Structures are given as structure tokens and as C-alpha cells.
Homo-oligomer: A and B are copies of this chain.
Amino acid sequence: MKKIKNPTACVIIIGNEILSGRTLDTNKHYLCKELTKNGIDVIEARVIKDDEKAIIQVVNEVRKKYNYVFTTGGIGPTHDDLTSLSIAKAFKVKLIKNKKAVEILKKFYFSINNELNEARLKMAFIPKGAELLHNPVTKAAGFRIKNVYVMAGIPEIMVAMFKKIIKSLKKGTPFISKTILVKIPESNIAKDLLKIEKKFNEVEVGSYPFFNNKSKGVNIVLRSKNKNQIKKAINEIKINLKNL
């Protein structure tokens, strides 16, 4: 792997329903795509249970390793929502009733003729010192504490939260990515690809075979921050393919 100086990130998906296979996780894919597009490199992703110990351990491990950490899931009103409390414990701060968060919820539930019951009020408990993250959909806020962004698990809410968060992040230089689809076996071009990767030192060459009922072949993906190098590498691959 070539050296890159982009900010780094880890995505943590919290939820028993993902690990049991009940729910297809789409949050990870969305976050990986959007962060990459903004030049923030996702180095790893974790999927963990709604479990206090697991959340504390993983958050404390990765927040020291990467510039940004994004969590999704477990900040709702029910007993199985343990993320806020666990994050507070990870940072060794108290989980306190956040006045601003209470105000937002009060206003919202009043506007829809609903009461701010005990369960809903639970969503206004935020780790001390955290900054609220706006939730334009159901209003119950997420929060940021240091480099850890804590978001809802429902995809529609997570996306709405993230669209605001991304504006405040330090961005890197996004990779330019070009894909060449070829319908020959991956192993026939393996040697050539290695040569290309060695020759163009700013280009990362990935090789992703596909195989289904309709067709088979390989997607050659070139990634680089250098437009010129990627152009030259593509030309060279095309010449190699003609000679096969």
C-alpha cells in the first residue's frame, strides 16, 4: 500500500440485529462511500453487539488509532439502546440530562400533540461535555464527544445526521478511481497488473473478479491522487490487453 496523508476513520456499527443477520446493514456502505469521496480513508469497520463492555472496549481502542470514529445504532428510547451510556463510560464522564436536547424534544413532541414521556426523555441523556448532532427527522439528537460521532441506527436518520456532520470534518484529497472491465480470467492479467503497480508508484491497482450466471471477468480498479499517472497507467493496461 502506498502512503497517503488523508485523515483516517473507523466506522462502528452497533446492533444485535446486524450480527444475527436479521437486518442487512446499509449504514457501513453509505459511510464508507461518503467518507472516501471526501478524502477520508476508512481503515477498518467493526460490527458489535448492543453490549456495554464491547462498546467501551472498541470505542476506546479505535478513537486513539484514527482521526475520526463514527458509530451508528443504540441511541433510541428502549432498554436495548445502550450506546450513549457506554460512550459516557468509555470517556469516563457522566451521562447527564442535556438541557438543549430536552428543549428540542419538548418542542417537537408538543408540535405533534404528543407527550415527552420517560422513554423519550431517555434520548436527551448525553455524555457530559458532548456536542449535540442535529437530527432533522425525529429530532432526538446524536452527539460528538472528542473525535467520536454517535449517530442513530435508522438509515434515514443516520444519513440526515451525517450530511450535516460531513461539512464540519477536515477533508483529504479524494482518490480518483477508474475501473476497466475486462471479460478475461483475472489470472491471465495478474502479471501485467503487478508490473503496472510497480511502474506507477502513485497508483494502487486492485483486481476484482466477478462471477455470476450471466458473465464472468474482472474489474481492474486504479486509484490514485495523481490524474496524470492514472491516465498513463490506463493506457498501458489497454495496450497490454490488446497483446493478450
Contact = CB atoms under 8 A, between A and B. Distances in A.
Interface of A: 1, 16-25, 28-37, 41-49, 51, 54, 76-81, 114, 117-120, 122-123, 137-138, 154, 156-157, 175, 177, 185-188, 190-191, 193-194, 197, 204-212, 221, 223
Given A154-B210, A207-B78, A32 B21 contact: yes
Given A20-B36, A43-B49, A138 B29 contact: no
Given A47-B47, A80-B205, 13 more contacts: A18-B45, A19-B43, A22-B177, A23-B208, A25-B29, A28-B47, A44-B46, A76-B186, A76-B187, A77-B187, A78-B190, A79-B197, A154-B211
Contacts of A42: 19-21
Given A44-B19, A44-B49, A119 B211 contact: no
Question: How many protomers of this protein does the assembly include?
Answer: 2
13 contacts: A19-B32, A19-B41, A19-B45, A20-B33, A21-B33, A24-B29, A25-B29, A44-B54, A76-B207, A79-B190, A120-B187, A138-B211, A157-B211
Contacts of A20: 32-33, 36, 42, 175, 177, 223
A228 to B, nearest CB: 21
